[in-house]
A and B are shown apart, each in its own frame.
Chain A
Amino acid sequence: MQDTAFSVWQNISGSGMLLALYVCAVIFLFYTEKETYKRILLVYLPLFWIGVLLLPFTYNVVAEVMDVEVYYRFFWMLPVTLVIAYTAVQVYHMYQGKHRALVALGLTLVMVLSGDFVYNNWRYSKAENAFHVPQTVVELCDMMHAKGREVLALFPEELMQYVRQYDSTICLPYGRNVLVEDWNMNHPLYEMMEAEVVDCDALGEAAVTYHCAYVVLREARETIGDLTASGYVLKGSFGGYQVYYNDEVFHDL
């Protein structure tokens, strides 16, 4: 289904509860806030931008001039967090005595239940080192690093994105761009590396053609043929990966 301005906003809002909370906060401030500048900046200005950004016209204009995938960033102009937190303080101070503790607890609960706990995000994992990249990548890169020069290496897709972040002298024949479907980037080596059964004879020949001094293979991946036929020797195993090295290719680059 094609995106619209409203669907972009819905996607940002998740279940929509936090968005509903924001709308309630704006309505509350509309009726209670007395100071002009607060009304202007916390009520009218956000309402203006919500109106403008949800117009199909605005969405279409943005789509004409740039990649519309970034449309969600336009909604960052809305001070959602500030308005909800400010309103919560105002609501809390409308009450007196022991009711206040209940109000504070209630407001906090509403926020917690409307939102999503960030540390449940699938992107998080326990850091394996101070670099916050997999330790296998650190060990592999340290082993491959050659002082004063670059080295080309072929990595499986799950490690690829970390390599040049950790050590920029280790280059890849292709990078993370082949993983992004929308970019339609293909590379013959990538197809060979990620095949269900890796043909090591063909892979070895292609890796030599692309000047890859190192080839990193998953130990668990089924293979046929042998990389040694193309001049590679097994250098060792690191965290579930086998590393092959070709001295001739290394010195030819």
Chain B
Amino acid sequence: MLKLKNALIYDPKNNKAGVKEDIWIENEKIVAEPSERKIKELKEKDILEEIDLENKIVMAGGVDIHSHIAGPKVNSGRVLRPEDHRRDNVPRKGKLRSGVGSTVPSSYVTGYRYSLMGYTTVMEAAGPPMKAKHIHEEFNDLPFIDKGFLVLSGNNYFVLKFISENNFTALKNYLAWLIDVTGAFALKVVNPGGVEAWKEGKRMRGIHNKGTSFNLSPSEILLALAKANDELGIPHAIHVHTNDLGTAGNFKTTNETLQLLKDYRVHVTHIQFSSYGKTENDKVKFITATDQVAAEINRQPKLTVDIGQLVFGEATTMTADGILEYNLHKLSGNKWVNTDVEMETGSGIVPMNYKKKNLVNDIQWATGMELFLKIEDPWKVFLTTDHPNAGPFTAYPWIIKLLMDSNYRNDYISGMHKNFDDYTDLSNLTREYDLSEIAVISRSGPAKALGLENKGHLGVGADADITVYDNLEKRDIAEVFAKPKYVFKSGRMIVKDGELITELQSGKTLMTKPDYDPQIAEDIREEFQKYYSISIDNYGVTDNYYKKVEVVPCNFKG
């Protein structure tokens, strides 16, 4: 048994803000304080380990609700960018495998850097079902952290077909089957209808027009998926990447989407990219539209979002939104990868370098910051950089500093483009996050939104994933959050004094198994065999790919 004593606990779910208490850990879980007799017994047997955390900040391990960390698209990004890795080499140390870092790190280094930052659970943001085995293969080489993946479903042939046929029962069965056979955690919806349009050589705008061979509008697809997701009881909401993402004036589409889905659970991801206004008589075109978007979010009780905060410097954009990457390529002239995946999705990759002297990049940066500060309830807004799209996840400590310290933020703004204040009101925002709010946006909130009841808090029964930070007094906030003093994963110390313990440890793969009628696989068999290029019998991920699995129950009730 392990006792962490005298810790200053920040555990918003259990209403603890800087409360001095002990934490007891046994068999990978946080447990209640044992009886005095039991403690005596443990001491006599010398099996009670104690660590004194006097004056240290203690939070649950960080939870990232949206990050591109494994699978075909991420790996293609690695191959595409040798120049990204060369300046960031990670040698082998003890049993820790070597690798490379920078914006698209190798699998091992991804696990190391999340762990070193005190993050213990990460959701891979977008997986094509047909290549799910690849995701799970990489998961097995992604150490320490627990992880799962969101399966792409917004442009899937059978999804669109069942919606267009008004066959809601088949839709639900199909989605549950898809999650089951691919070992996914929840449903991802990327530019619904718009990716199919891209593959058909067409363009779609907004959510109300029909534009593909399926004769469906994005709003019809979104409504059906949100409803199916709620009825299947999947612990996480549908995870939406909006239509028109990245374009000036797209906040209208975003707000229409939020209003359309107000009766269902929705998580809108990297909403920074979806909160732009448009200025007509100006060649910059972009302006922040965070007042409108934040107001809608503040109005809706069920909605959650993550930001996708822009970070200046190198980034590698990668998304299932194929048309978006084509546009980014045309805009930047940078190298471009596109992969269309039959019957399911598209995808693309373009490297980017966000620059402070580029006014549009400044406006994007400000949009993220403004949303963090204008969304009132921290339980609705989560910290992400849509890694590695708006920047690498290793920038989280810096973003935390920007949120906690308005003086630092204003100093930083003073280095921006001279016309910065014409496009954003960030300079006027004085709000500062406190430690409890940081704990919400970086662990408790995302865990709750994912439906992970054992994550994101330090109550009895929680997974013993725990991060210990130095006190902030006289210390740089970013430094404290970048280098936790200790990190515990499943009750075992994995980081000590900012260094990884040199033993590899495997985390769990998080999955859900919603109920369905297995007849669905037979119902789709004929079309599958004709129009896929592999057999349906070779499609599913077999058990040999799963090492350590936790099935999260589908017990959401509307």
State yes or no: do A and B come from one complex: no
